[in-house]
Chains A and B, each alone.
Chain A
C-alpha cells in the first residue's frame, strides 16, 4: 500500500514538474477518459483544447505586457502618478487557477464539498457550473503561492466552494424576484460575493432622500455607447486613452488602441477554447450531480452570464467603465490601472442592480463604492498575485511594475484568504 501511494505521489510530482502547458491537459484527459468514460478520441481532443487555450492565454498576456508595460511606464513618468500595477486581466487569474498543483484536484474537491453540503442540508444549491470552479482554484492557487502547501491550497478551494454555495442560496430570491429565473441560483465567484460587499452601500444609498426621482433609462445608455460598448471598440478607446496619457505621439497611440482592441476581443475567444476543452468533463459532472438529486427541491447553480444581458446591468457596467478609469487615476494610494478587466465588468453588477431594484443611479453610486474597494484590494494583492502569475506562466513584467487584476484579484474572498494564508506557519 505504501509503495502504491509513493508511486502515485511520484507520478504527480513528475507531472507537476512538467511545463504548465502539459499538466492540466493530462489531468483533464485522464478525468474525461477514466472517470467520466469519454471516448479516447474525445478526451484527447478536449485535452488538446485545454493546452491550446493555455498557450493562447500566455500569448495574449505576453502581448498585452509588451505593449501595456511601456505605456504604463511612460504614463507614470508623464503624469507623475504611481500607477505601477498593470491590469493583466482575467487570463492571468486562469493561469494561476490552472497552474499550481491545487489545480490537479479542484474539480472533484468542489463536487465532494457540494455533495456533503447537500447531504447535511447546509445548502439547496447544486453547482453544475463546472467552468466557474476556476474561481475556487484561483483562491487555492493564491494560498498555494503564499504557503507552497498543496493542503492549505486545497482547503481554501473547499472553503470557497462551500461559501459560494451559501452565497448562492442567499441571493437566489434576487435571481427569481428581479431576473425572473426560478429554480436557479448563482454560485459565481465574481458575482455572488459582491452582494455582501455592496449590501452596506445599498443600505446607505436607500437612505439618501430624493434619489428615486432621478430617471435614467437603460435603453438611452446603450444607444449612446454604441459600438464602443463592445470589447473591440472599448479596447480601442482604452488603448488610445492610455497612449495619450502616456504622452505618446498619435503614431504610437493609434497602434496601442488597435492592440488593446485585439487583446480585449481575443481574450474572450481564448477563454472560449478553454471552455470547449473542459466541456466533456463538465457535461459528465453535470449528469453525475443531477442524477443524484433528481426530484429533490434544489436550486441549479449556474453562470451569472445568464443575468448580465439585462439592459439595466449592461448600462450600469457601461457607465462604470469611464468612472472606474477615473477612480483609478485619482484615488490616493491606488496603484492599479484597470484596463483589460473592463471586458468582464458586467459580471460585477447583477446583484448590485437587483438590490437597487433596477435604479441606474443608485446602482452606479453603490458601484463606485465597490470599485474603490476593489481598486485598493487589487493594489494590495499585487505582490502575491505577481509571484503566483510568474510561477504559472505569465511572462515577466518590465522592471518596477507589478501585475494584478480585478477579477478576481481585487475581490474580498481572494484577499481575505491570501491575508490569512500569510499568517499560517510555513
Chain B
C-alpha cells in the first residue's frame, strides 16, 4: 500500500501540534501504518496540507481543502482519545 500523508494543523505549530504528532507517531508505529506526518500552523495550512490524505485539526481550519478532516483536540484533552485514534487508523487503512 502506498505511503499516506497526514497533515496536523494547529494554532501555532508549537505545543499542541508537538503533542499530537508524537502521539500519532506512536499510533502509526503500533498499527504498522506507513504514514508521513507534516505539521504546521493555520496560516501555513495551504502549503502543509498539499497532497495530504487526511488532516488532523487542533484548531479551526481556515477553509475547506477538499481533504477529510478529523478533530485532533481529543489528543490534547484526553476526552475521546481512543475513539479518535481508531477513526484515524480506519481512515488511513482504507485504500
**Partner-B contacts on A (CB < 8 A):** 128, 131-132, 179, 181, 183-184, 219, 222, 225, 229-231, 268, 271-272, 275-276, 279, 282, 286-287, 290, 300, 302-311, 314, 318, 343-344, 346-347
Contact = CB atoms under 8 A, between A and B. Distances in A.
B65 to A, nearest CB: 13
B75 to A, nearest CB: 10
B19 interface: yes
Contacts of B59: 305-310
B82 to A, nearest CB: 14
B60 A311 contact: yes
A184 B44 contact: no
B73 interface: yes
Contact of B12 (A181, A225, A276, A347): A347
* Chain B interface size range: 20 to 34
B58 A275 contact: no
Contacts of A225: 43
A262 to B, nearest CB: 15
B17 to A, nearest CB: 8
A307 B14 contact: no
B13 A308 contact: no
A271 B14 contact: yes
Interface of A is mostly: helix
B56 interface: no
A306 B73 contact: yes
Given A302-B76, A305-B58, A275 B11 contact: no
A229 B43 CA distance: 7
Interface in B11-56: 11-19, 22, 41-44
Nearest to B10: A305
Nearest to A225: B43
A38 to B, nearest CB: 14
Contact of B22 (A268, A279, A306, A308): A279
A351 to B, nearest CB: 14
A318 B62 CA distance: 14
B66 interface: no
26 contacts: A128-B77, A131-B15, A132-B15, A179-B60, A229-B43, A230-B44, A268-B12, A272-B17, A275-B18, A279-B22, A290-B78, A302-B73, A302-B76, A303-B15, A303-B16, A304-B11, A306-B11, A307-B11, A309-B10, A309-B42, A309-B59, A309-B60, A309-B62, A310-B60, A311-B63, A314-B62
Contacts of A275: 14-15, 18-19
B79 interface: yes
A344 to B, nearest CB: 7
A128 B18 CA distance: 16
Given A222-B62, A276-B22, A303-B76, A308 B15 contact: no
Interface in B72-86: 73, 76-79
B61 A305 contact: no
What are the 4 tightest A-B residue pairs by CB atom distance, in nearest-first order?
Answer: A309-B59, A305-B11, A309-B42, A308-B11
Contacts of A308: 11-12, 42, 59
- Which one of B12, B19, B61 has the greatest number of beta carbons of chain A within 10 Å? B12
Contacts of B13: 268, 272
Contacts of B63: 219, 311
B52 to A, nearest CB: 16
Contact of B77 (A300, A311, A314): A300
Given A305-B58, A306-B58, A183 B43 contact: no
A346 B78 CA distance: 24
B19 to A, nearest CB: 6
